[in-house]
Each structure stands twice: as structure tokens, then as C-alpha cells.
Structure 1
Amino acid sequence: MAQLGFFLGSLGGLLSVAFGAFGAHGLRDRLDAYSLGVFETAVQYQFYHSLALLIAGLLLVQFPASSLLKSSVVLFVLGMFLFSGSLYVLSFTGIRWLGAITPLGGLAFIAGWTCLAAAGWQLLGQ
């Protein structure tokens, strides 16, 4: 799970930079201001949680048995898929009902951070 977290965090960071550059240079004249803002929000949250995945992956190297760290990896990936993924699709298609999926990704992010915090509390208290 440590390798997966580190790999997906690195891949997510790479894609965040690529999507951010694409948004800044390739989409500015193609999307309206609202859709471009939605796209930029997706990029930001993907990048932040890519860093969180890297942290969780690195911690899992030191604490491979931590179910809380493993859960945080799964929840961050799920959150990136649901939150950022729904916003990417929304920005390109304008399908508004996709906005109903986005909060589920936000809840996954919150749960991931909660697991990461609980793991830190548990592991640092040893």
C-alpha cells in the first residue's frame, strides 16, 4: 500500500501540474469564467491531495501495519476521483447534476484527513 500511495500521489501531482498548465494556456479561450473556475478548483484539490497521498505513502513505509494510514490512502484516491473528477467533467460538459457527486468526494477527503490525523495521534503516541 505504501508503494501505491506514493505512486498515485506522484502521478496525481504530475497530472495536476499538466492539467493546470493546460487550463491556463489551452482552456482560457475555450471555457467561460465559471467553467474555468471549476476546472481550477479541481486542479487545486487534486494537487493538495496528491501531496497528502505522498505523505501517507511515506508514512506507510515506516508503519506498514497501520490500517488508518491505509484507509487514508484509499479515501484520498476516492476523493480525488469523485471530487476533482466530477469537477473536470462538469467544467467541460456543463452537466450540472455532476455537482451532486462532488460533495461525496469532499466527504472522502475529510475522512482521509481524519484517518491521517488519527494515525498520527496513534503512531506518535507510541
Structure 2
Amino acid sequence: MSPPSSTPLLPRTFPGGSQFLWRSGAIIASVGIIAGAFGAHGLRRRPGITADNIHAWETASSYAVYNGLTLLLVSLHPRFSTHRFAGPAIAAGGLIFSGSIMALVLARDRFKFVGPVTPLGGAIMIAGYLSLAL
């Protein structure tokens, strides 16, 4: 009988670690800021854009900035920068959440199927934040 393996099925730490989270955070925050600027200036000029669309866009861009800043902070933490779930879940969930809202605002007719994806992204994002507390 061979001894039990010391290598877990899933790694205990996130292999990309702090460098991946730092870069992801910087990119996601930048995209959120750019999207916010576009929403404030260019989006309003598009035909068919309503006040509800503008509000949804502002929510999506704000969450992108929040999640980007969070990833920057998490990347600096000695324990959480290598957490196998928290950072990747915040990044992926945030991208799905904000990206799906932006896709719906820009092309609702072509991306109707994305609507149900938004809450899934939000749930993944929230799970990432909650895992920081465990």
C-alpha cells in the first residue's frame, strides 16, 4: 500500500497569487473608470438609452471599480493574496456581474440571454467576499 499523497486535489493556495490579483485589480478598476466616463458622456447620446439604462450602467461601472480596488487590497494581504477562492471569485463574479449589465445596456436585443447571468455573477462575487471572512 502506498502512502497517502501530500498533494491535495485542489491546491491550498491560488497559484497566480498576489501578482495576478494586483494586475486584475488594476485592469478591472481601470475598466470601471473608463466605463463610468463613457456612461457620463457617450452613452447618453446613443438612441434608445433611458434613465434606467444610465442607472444600470453606473451601477455596473461602480461595482467594477469597487471590485478592482478590493483586488488591489487583497493582493497586498499575506494570507488572502494566495487564497484559492476569494480573489478569483471576486474577479470572475465582478466581471460577470458588471459585464452582463453593460452588455444588456448596450445591446439588449442581442444579449437577452445574459440577463439571468447577472445574479449568478453577483452570487459568485459575494461568495468571494464571504470567503475572506472564513
Match of 1:36 in 2: 54
Structure 1: give runs of 5+ residues left out of the alignment. Answer: 119-126
- State the Cα distance separating 1:96 from its structure 2 match: 3.8
Q: TM-score, normalization: structure 2?
A: 0.77
Identity level (%): 34
Match of 2:12 in 1: none
Match of 2:107 in 1: 93
Partners of 2:28 and 2:119 in 1: how far apart? Answer: 20
Structure 1 segments of 4+ aligned residues over 6 angstroms from their partners: none
Match of 1:123 in 2: none
Q: TM-score, normalization: structure 1?
A: 0.82
Match of 2:93 in 1: 79
RMSD: 1.7
Q: Does 1:8 align with 2:24?
A: yes
Quick one: which of 118, 121, 124 aligns to 1:102? 118
Structure 2: give runs of 5+ residues left out of the alignment. Answer: 1-16
Flag the structure with higher helix content. 1
Would you say how many aligned residue pairs link Structure 1 and Structure 2? Answer: 114
Contact 1:42 1:85 in 2 (8 A): yes
- State the Cα distance separating 1:77 from its structure 2 match: 1.2
Partners of 1:65 and 1:54 in 2: how far apart? Answer: 9
Write the letter of the residue equivalent to 1:5: L
Q: Deviations over 1:46-101 (max 9, x none)?
A: 11111111111111xx23785xx331111011112210110010001114442210
Partners of 2:133 and 2:80 in 1: how far apart? Answer: 16
- State the Cα distance separating 1:5 from its structure 2 match: 0.4
Name the SS for the 1:117 alignment partner. coil
Partners of 1:104 and 1:41 in 2: how far apart? Answer: 16
